[in-house]
Amino acid sequence: MKYLILVLLVSIIVFSQCDSNLPIVGKEEKSEMKKFIEGLPRMCYFARLSGSTQGYKIIDNNDGTISLVSFSNIGSEFCPPPFGKTESTSVVYYIKKCVQGQVYRQAQNDCKGTGTAANYYNAQKYQGCPTNDTACDDSVGNQSKTLSPARASCILDTTKGLSWDNEYSFSVGDKYKLKEYLLTRKDELPITDTDFYWLYNFGSTNMNRTGGSPAGPSNKNLLNYVLCFKKQENE
């Protein structure tokens, strides 16, 4: 729209130049517009160098997964090519669309393949460990990939041929976007203030919180939901 306005301004100047008797734009105004248009490429060039807007967004891949994507917008909608607005994106995490235990339905692109709304369509809870001790710890004190029921449910998952885990490093920005997305699906996902999810480090988090740190019950043998993630190796 802004670029269209710029084109209209140029057209007015050209038209008024063709017939100086037409009182469309005065000489002073035409001079100012001419200076503005001549300086536009330079202004747009420096606007492009000055920085970009950045953030996160969620993309539904319509295949049982979603992507948490970081993006940056460079340039301005006001500027004409080649200085116009461009967007650069990079996948940070792939995330299973369904909570463990739910069944994805391709045609409906939802997780209502089994169960009912009363049990969140069969969303299952898993223990971090059958016992509240170190029996399921790996060498650095995280959930063992084979001994922890919660973590193993992701490790053994073969959705889309990706290597899944319940490892997710929170930051305020990306967790807010994830929460924002999950809340749009609260009719099929456990996303209330009392629903907790196991993380690989035996922390549990409530997906309805916007804070960056894991929180919630930490007894390893408690039952919590599990959401699986695939972190991109280059992030």
77 contact partners, CB below 8 Å, separation of at least 6: 1, 2, 3, 84, 85
Written as six digits, the tokens of 75 are: 């340039």
Are residues 227 and 100 in contact, defined by beta-carbon separation less than 8 angstroms?
A: yes
pLDDT value, residue 32? 61
pLDDT value, residue 51? 53
Are residues 221 and 129 in contact, defined by beta-carbon separation less than 8 angstroms?
A: yes
Q: Report the C-alpha dihedral over residues 75, 68, 104, 102, rounded to 10 degrees.
A: -150
Q: Region 19-48: what's the mean pLDDT?
A: 57
Number of domains in the chain: 2
- Is residue 72 assigned to a domain? no
Q: Is 128 helix (H, G, I), strand (E, B) or coil?
A: coil
**What are the pLDDT digits (tens) for 110-133?**
999 999 999 999 999 999 999 999
- Is residue 17 assigned to a domain? yes
- Is residue 174 assigned to a domain? yes
Q: Is 124 helix (H, G, I), strand (E, B) or coil?
A: coil
pLDDT value, residue 43? 62
Are residues 91 and 69 in contact, defined by beta-carbon separation less than 8 angstroms?
A: yes
Question: Looking at the structure, do residues 44 and 128 belong to the same domain, yes or no?
Answer: no
Percentage of the chain lying above the pLDDT 90 cut:
46
Question: Looking at the structure, do residues 100 and 42 belong to the same domain, yes or no?
Answer: no
> Percent helix, strand and coil across the chain, each rounded to 5?
30, 20, 50
pLDDT value, residue 4? 42
pLDDT at 52 over 60: no
- Is residue 141 assigned to a domain? yes
Output 35 or 204, whichever has higher pLDDT: 204
**Residue-number span of the structural domain to which 163 is assigned:** 95-235
- Is residue 62 assigned to a domain? no
Question: Looking at the structure, do residues 209 and 151 belong to the same domain, yes or no?
Answer: yes
Question: Looking at the structure, do residues 32 and 135 belong to the same domain, yes or no?
Answer: no
pTM of the model as a whole: 0.71
Are residues 60 and 109 in contact, defined by beta-carbon separation less than 8 angstroms?
A: yes
Question: Looking at the structure, do residues 42 and 99 belong to the same domain, yes or no?
Answer: no
- Is residue 232 assigned to a domain? yes
- Is residue 79 assigned to a domain? no
